[in-house]
Amino acid sequence: MTSCLHYSDDWDVMGDEDWDEVYDDPKVIAPPHTARHRVKHGILEDCYIQYCVNPSRWITTDESRIAGWYHSCMTIGPDPKPIRTGATLHTVCITQGPLSSYKLYARVYGGKDDQDMNVHHKHTVKRAKMVSLYDFMLESFKHKGHCVVMDSAYMSDAMAQIGRNHWGINMVGTCQSDRTGAGKLGKADVKAKEVVIGSHESLMYQHNTKPLLYTVWGDNNFVKTLSNFHSPVVVRGGMKRKKRNRSTKRRDREFTDVDCPIQQKDYCETYHLIDKGNGAEAKYDLSTESHLHGWSPKLAARYFNMNINNAYKIHCYLFKKHHPTKVVMPLKECIHNLTHSLLQRGDTMRKRGGGAPPKATKDITTSSSVDGRKIRSDSVRQPFTSPTATVHTATPQTPVSDLTGRALRYRKASSKLRKERQPGRVHISVPVVVKKNRATSYCKYHKCPGKNTGAKRKRAYMSKYACEDCSLEKGVDFFLCNSTKSVGGTLVVVDCHTAYHVEKKLYTAPSPVSTAESSIISELTE
């Protein structure tokens, strides 16, 4: 199971050469005609079965789906009810009592390669796959007085006769008309015998010599059941149903006691419990869109969930027995605690280095923040440190942004890709397309020479250049002058971009040492 959970699809079954040296138990060798997937998945099916419970009289069988892709040998299930979107999992569970939905048996149908079912059963004339399947599933329950509830995917007159005469098992379940041995029986024939949908009347067919009873019940649709141990008895007021008004076609809000056959009552009171168990086990399956993993990890995840569900059923029973006044922990919290416990077992693994959590502001002198986190020495992408970088405190982020969240994400992704290709790319002045007279296009440097023009309203120069990193950090286009300006009819260089970063100690001042102020005639002009 551990191998499956780690996505090794074709692992060695149990080892061949050193089996006797490693294991005390003798190695079980599968017959030579067994399908390959059965040898592999049979280990998973047998590993979770618990023998510490004694099932009650009523047990239920059902098929469920393990999600997968369509083009696979394990996709299509056995007739007459194939599941074409995943592997078909056949299960047996306890129906009644505190351990209801506790799984007793599980088997996955392997499609065309499942040679165990593609044979003629000794009790059938034709190749009845469902009879061969039930021969495996009910092996430990034969001749013990159990009652098995199933649906129309399994039930037939052949199954009922073999279960009664050869296996000693009582069977009841829904059944299709053409699988009862009584010939074709459609809706027209049923209506001709005065059974109407919604009347909750019953029509029964009993075999002359064999203990087979086929019943048609007029609920919201015709419900057809077959049993090999019930008598033709109708229970007065045996079930509560919401009747449908024949004129308005709407159901009543209140429940009404209606008559029903006794075999229908037994079926309705038991079969729905296995669906609840299957739903609880399917919550943590692998993604249905996963084409990278084979069937083994998907099956292992479902079998692991079965183990958890079985353990939770026993836990609830024992907890309520010894602590009747306390509330049982929900299944989800139990799974979280179990996951934490399982992850603490085994050999120790390399852990992430300790330290303080990363700061809220990013270290802009490197291509990736390393505050409080240790980077592996064999990592392909090592952090780049600028040779002229100094210790600094970055400008805190502001929640105000004139960029949409989507545009900001795209900018960050593009900037990250550029830095991976150019590790030294830090605080580059880039042009930004702005509208004319846009208020946010004024230079953000508080010593911009545009404020020294003598104007009544001091404003910095307009700029179309913004700092790449500062804009992503603040969430807005952070404009800084880095161009030529016309002063008295003469073009001069204005470089607020360099002066701002030197003042914030994000750059090292070039030689000769410049001041933090940006002048009309800067050292870059020379």
Q: Count Cβ atoms below 10 Å from residue 414 Cβ, excluding itself.
A: 12
State CA 343 to chain mean position distance.
20
CA angle 318, 324, 325 (to 5 degrees): 140
Point out the least confidently predicted range of 199-208, 328-337, 352-361, 442-451. Answer: 352-361
Confidence at 526, pLDDT banded by 50, 70, 90: very low
The reported pTM is 0.59
Bigger pLDDT: 410 vs 513? 410
pLDDT tens digits for range 200-221: 888 888 888 888 998 888 888 8
Is the pLDDT score of 442 beyond 70? Answer: yes
- Over residues 499-508, the mean pLDDT reads 85
* Secondary structure letter of residue 120 according to DSSP: -
The pLDDT value given to residue 37? 65
pLDDT tier, 149 (very low <50, low <70, confident <90, very high otherwise): very high
Pick the closest to residue 132 from 105, 154, 152 (CA basis). 154
pLDDT digits over 365-402, tens only? Answer: 555 544 555 566 666 555 555 555 444 444 433 333 45
Question: What is the maximum span of the chain, computed from C-alpha positions, in angstroms?
Answer: 118
* pLDDT for the residue 191: 64
Print burial letters for 6-18: b (CB count within 10 Å at least 16), e (below 16).
eeeeeeeeeeeee
Which residues are registered as beta bridge partners of 160? none
Q: Quick one: which of 377, 372, 342, 345 has its CA closest to 359?
A: 372
The answer to whether the CB of 205 falls within 8 A of the CB of 213 is yes
The model's pLDDT over 34-81, given as tens digits with 9 standing for 90+, comes to 666 666 676 667 655 556 788 888 999 988 888 777 777 777 778 767
Query: With 80 as the cut, is the pLDDT of residue 345 above it?
Result: no
Phi, psi of 441 (to 5 degrees): -90, 5
Mean pLDDT, the chain, as a whole number? 76
Contacts of 259 (CB under 8 A, 6+ apart): 200, 201, 202, 234, 235, 236, 237, 238
Is the pLDDT at 124 greater than 70? The verdict is yes
CA pair distance 498, 17, nearest whole angstrom: 71
In this predicted structure, which of 165-174, 302-311, 476-485, 514-523 has the lowest mean pLDDT? 514-523
CA distance from start to end of the chain: 73
d(CA 317, CA 328): 10
What three-state secondary structure class fits 300?
Answer: helix
The pLDDT value recorded for residue 164 is: 92
